[in-house]
């Protein structure tokens, strides 16, 4: 059984990105996947405090808060789905603080280590990105993070992107993107281990 952890970075619980996450998860569940969801806006946590415990005295993040469970779920997952609307040219602050805590997944002296990550290799990354702007903006967010994802052992990354969805419910005008989110889940679960081209859906 494949395990999927969804980390939802929107401040709005039922926003446009949530619709795409739901479509992905619905398809995945039908194929027997185990889904864990975390709505970051409902959790209490802080960004990385640079305690460096994860590089000196522990193989875990030295901070204990609501992200502790999330970080453990990532370790146990096969697929990690991140979702976020674009805020000020990037993912939301809620998601960025979570990503900063992924520093704990790197081994000590990771820059020179042959295996840089404490995570098992071969995990799959999916980013659900929604934005009010058109297709000519914010096209490189996933690419910006991909170098670190690869160092952490992620073997694939996929993008589900919806543009021009500013108000709650705008995503409903683009059923093809909702459908494509479900299709990506089906491809990832039915073609485990296969190489799938980066999936981008842009209006």
Q: Which domains does the chain have, with CATH numbers?
A: 3-190 (3.40.50.360)
Q: Are residues 35 and 177 in contact, defined by beta-carbon separation less than 8 angstroms?
A: no
Residue among 67, 96, 70, 68 at smallest CA distance from 84: 96
Cβ neighbors of 152 (< 8 A, separation 6 or more) are 102, 105, 106, 116, 117, 119, 123
Distance CA 15, CA 148 (A): 28
| Biggest CA pair distance of the chain | 51
* Per-residue pLDDT reduced to its tens digit, 20-65: 999 999 999 999 999 999 999 999 999 999 999 999 999 999 999 9
* Per-residue pLDDT reduced to its tens digit, 171-188: 999 999 999 999 999 999
* Per-residue pLDDT reduced to its tens digit, 109-158: 999 999 999 999 999 999 999 999 999 999 999 999 999 999 999 999 99
């Amino acid at each position: 059984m494949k395990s999927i952890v969804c980390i939802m970075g929107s401040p709005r619980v039922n926003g446009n990105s949530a619709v795409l996450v739901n479509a992905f998860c619905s398809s995945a569940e039908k194929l027997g996947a185990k889904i864990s969801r975390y709505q970051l806006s409902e959790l209490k946590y802080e960004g990385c405090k640079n305690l460096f415990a994860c590089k000196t005295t522990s193989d875990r993040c030295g901070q204990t808060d609501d992200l502790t469970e999330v970080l453990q779920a990532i370790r146990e997952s096969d697929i990690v789905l991140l979702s976020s609307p674009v805020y000020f040219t990037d993912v939301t602050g809620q998601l960025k603080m979570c990503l900063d805590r992924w520093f704990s997944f790197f081994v000590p002296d990771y820059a020179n280590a042959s295996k840089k990550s404490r995570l098992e290799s071969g995990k799959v990354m999916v980013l659900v990105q929604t934005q009010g702007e058109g297709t000519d903006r914010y096209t490189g967010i996933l690419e910006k993070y991909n170098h670190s994802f690869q160092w952490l052992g992620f073997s694939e990354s996929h993008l589900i992107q919806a543009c021009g969805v500013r108000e709650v419910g705008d995503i409903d005008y683009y059923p093809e993107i909702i459908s494509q989110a479900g299709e990506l889940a089906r491809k990832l679960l039915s073609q485990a281990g296969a190489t799938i081209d980066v999936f981008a859906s842009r209006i």
